[in-house]
Structure 1
Amino acid sequence: MQKKISSESIKELRIKTGAGMMDCKKALEASEGQIDAAIESLRKKGLASADKKSHRIATEGLVESYIHSGSRIGVLVELNCETDFVARQTEFSMLAKDIAMQLAACQLVNYVSKDDIPEQLVLYETKIESEKEDLSKKTLQIKEQIIKNRVEKRLKELCLVDQPFIKDPTITVQELVKRHIALLGENIKIRRFERFILGEGLEHKSTNLTQEISNMIQNK
């Protein structure tokens, strides 16, 4: 006998995954009411659906802003989709806000994905890792593998899509976007962003009281 699925369970699964009500109901029925198993099932289906849409051209969307408390950090991000209809959806707008907030929190992130990282930077990071002292006694094969892994880790630290989502660290920003692709039925791309930090790049005045007093005496 099939286990009866409560409306509370369906609502909980929908909140956690963003999937449709009927999809949530079917996933829970197939998993006999097990939330985690249902999430895994929906995630697999959602990601597969998102991957199929990833080649579509996305030229609509919106530019979202986020100003952090205290007004010392601000972010602008352009999020693209396929149609103006999806761009006006609440879920799309919330995704853009979450991504802007993520960028304010992850100040080491400078690129959307690894595809955006200049080859010159990759070569530089490889050079830095290859010259570290702890590799001097390793065999060439092991040394190359360690360097590759370290560079890969470093590049991920610089990329937005590889960051754990601040509201749910069990998924990455890329997985968050793919969930919304599955939910809204269109390709979604984070195109570009700009982060503004108050005073960044300016030469700050430093106060040296001893030097200031000395200058005052000499000028008398």
Structure 2
Amino acid sequence: MAVTAAMVKELRERTGAGMVDCKNVLVEVDGDIERAIEVLREKGLAKAAKKAGRVAAEGLVKEAISKDKKQGAIVEVNSETDFVAKNEQFINFVTQVADMVLENDVKTIEELKELPWAEDKNKTVGDILTEKISVIGENLTLRRFIKMSTTGTIVAYTHGGGKIVSMVEMDGEGPKVEEVGKNIAMQVAASNPQFLSKSDVSEETIAKEKEILLTQALNENATAAKPKPENIIEKMVEGRLGKELFKEICLLEQDYVKEPSITVEKYVVQELKSKDAIKSFVRFEAGEGIEKKAENFAEEVAKQING
């Protein structure tokens, strides 16, 4: 019986085994998918599929930057435990994937998974990921990546051995630009801004925040010994927007972490004579936004002991 691409795809989805392994086993069993599943299990190649339901909320973020500093890439791969995130095999895998994102033009996770693996062109990134799941013994998830390109300079900063990676696109080139870029990348890692400047914040975001602040102020005013007029309350809210919201979410408005008496914008102008020196930035934090399953450690050990 002829083995089709659809059959290989179905077997891969049902077992989590690699594309090449699925094809070879289907040929071996003359296209019998149910028998192919049994063979893959017998060979230990379907082991990964059993772990697919586990929550991978830990992990590692890695960056790669081209020699000319014109391109940069960040990749996040998740694991179930922090222990595995420190595993050398896992670290090497994430590092290699970051290099592949840098060297290739891929837009989606699926495209990335289909790339031929650098060290074995007969296997894909997805195949290697499945193999790592089987060897390491945890569910691993290739979660997200980004690639940046510039005519200026790309600078990155890694915190906590790969817990957080920030990348900044700077206008211009040279040691001074790289130094300032590194400091800005550290700021991004520490302060997690959402926008570059106030002009990037949508009217919708401002209106929603203003509504929240106004409600807070009115509630405070209702219990105050000397309530203020409504027009005064509105002015107070406008003041809070500038002091609280923009300072929290806008990079240029934040207090500079190395010298809190000045803003990031003032620092950049001071060093590079331009308030437009920062073009863009991105920040990846491992496991960010993934709901972690709360486990009782004693119960988990008991479960494993009792099978």
TM-score by length of 2: 0.44
Deviates more, 1:202-211 or 1:120-129: 202-211
2:272 aligns to what SS in structure 1? Answer: helix
Residue in 2 aligned with 1:90? 175
- How far has the Cα of 1:77 moved from its partner? 1.1
Asked if 1:191 is matched to 2:275, the reply is: no
Asked whether the equivalents of residues 265 and 275 of structure 2 are also in contact (C-alpha less than 8 Å), the reply is no
Residue 134 (1) aligns with residue 220 (2): yes
Q: How does 1:6-155 map to 2 (within 5 A)?
A: 60-81=151-172, 87=173, 89-107=174-192, 109-132=193-216, 133-136=219-222, 137-153=227-243, 154-155=245-246
Structure 2: runs of 5 or more not aligned: 1-149
- After superposition, the Cα gap between the structure-2 partners of 1:144 and 1:63, relative to the gap in structure 1 and judged at 3 Å, is same
**Contact 1:114–1:156 (Cα < 8 Å) also in 2:** no
Match of 1:157 in 2: 248
Cα drift, residue 187 of structure 1: 6.9
Q: CA deviation at 1:121?
A: 0.7
Secondary structure of the equivalent of 2:194? Answer: coil
Residue 215 of structure 1 and its aligned partner are, at CA, apart by 8.8
Write out the 4+ residue segments of structure 1 that deviate beyond 6 Å after TM superposition.
Answer: 209-216
> In 2, distance between residues paired with 1:164 and 1:70?
25
* Aligned residues: CA RMSD: 2.6
Letter in 2 for 1:181: L
Q: Name the aligned partner's letter for residue 160 of structure 1.
A: L
| Cα distance, 1:214 vs structure 2 | 11
Match of 1:7 in 2: none
- 3-state DSSP class of the match of 2:180? helix
- Does residue 166 in structure 1 map to residue 257 in structure 2? yes
Q: Secondary structure at the match of 1:66?
A: strand
Q: How much has 1:212 moved relative to structure 2?
A: 6.5
| Match in the other structure for 1:205 | 293
Unmatched 5+ residue regions in structure 1?
Answer: 1-58, 82-86
Q: In the comparison of the two structures, how many residue pairs are matched?
A: 150
**TM, length-normalised to structure 1:** 0.60
Q: Counterpart of 2:165 in 1: which secondary structure?
A: strand
Would you tell me which structure has more helix in proportion to its own residues? Answer: 1
Report the structure, 1 or 2, having the larger strand content: 2
Aligned counterpart, 2:25: none
- Give, in angstroms, the shift of residue 190 of structure 1: 1.4
CA shift at 1:203, angstroms?
A: 2.7
**Structure with more relative contact order (C-alpha pairs < 8 Å, separation 6 or more):** 1
Whichever residue aligns with residue 259 of structure 2, its letter is: D
CA distance in 2, matches of 1:187, 1:149: 23
SS in 1 for 2:240: helix
Report if aligned partners of 1:78, 1:191 keep a CA contact under 8 Å in 2.
yes
| CA radius of gyration, larger in | 2
Structure 2 counterpart of 1:161, one-letter code: L
Local SS of the residue matching 2:171: strand
CA distance in 1, matches of 2:267, 2:220: 37
